[in-house]
């Protein structure tokens, strides 16, 4: 696949010998995501900002909720950039590998917002 910063191969291959014991990962802390720190902010499709803790324990700060008609979607944090001429834009920091994964994340986040009391 590629090399990490130390120059070593970072392929995700299990190199355990038959004598090695598998490493057990801890169970997720919870089976659903938990939304917090809802900050309403309405502009165009944007309805507000929130943080989202995933079952893995990863916390994503600065998620956005968008609504247009019957469509709802969740935006991930992005890096603000100033282009030549002073134009402001945003560059993705995180992205999903497939539409199915994106949809699963959206559904998880919307359910977490609902549990928080946000009418999403």
Residue owning tokens 């038959």 = 18
Model confidence over 35-85: pLDDT tens digits? 999 999 999 999 999 999 999 999 999 999 999 999 999 999 999 999 999
For residue 9, the 8-state DSSP code is B
- pTM passes above 0.95: no
Question: CA torsion sign, 97 to 42 to 79 to 86?
Answer: positive
Mean pLDDT on 83-89? 93
pLDDT above 70: residue 11: no
What's the confidence (pLDDT) of residue 75? 97
78-111 burial, b if ≥16 CB within 10 A, otherwise e?
eeeeeeeeeeeeeeeeeeeeeeeeeeebeebbbe
Structural domains of the chain, ranges and CATH numbers in brackets: 34-116 (3.30.1120)
Task: Tell me the average pLDDT across 95-107.
Answer: 95
Q: What is the pLDDT of residue 120?
A: 77
Alpha-carbon span 105 to 87, nearest angstrom: 31
């Amino acid at each position: 696949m590629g090399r990490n910063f130390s120059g070593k191969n970072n392929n995700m291959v299990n190199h355990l010998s038959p004598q090695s014991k598998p490493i057990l990962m801890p169970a997720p802390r919870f089976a659903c995501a938990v939304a917090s720190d809802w900050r309403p902010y309405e502009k165009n499709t944007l309805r507000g900002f929130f943080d989202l803790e995933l079952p893995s324990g990863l916390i994503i700060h600065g998620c956005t909720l968008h609504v247009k008609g019957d469509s709802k979607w969740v935006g991930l944090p992005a890096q603000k950039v100033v282009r030549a001429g002073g134009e402001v834009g945003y560059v993705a920091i995180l992205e999903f590998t497939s539409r199915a994964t994106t949809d699963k994340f959206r559904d998880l986040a919307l359910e977490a917002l609902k549990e928080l009391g946000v009418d999403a």
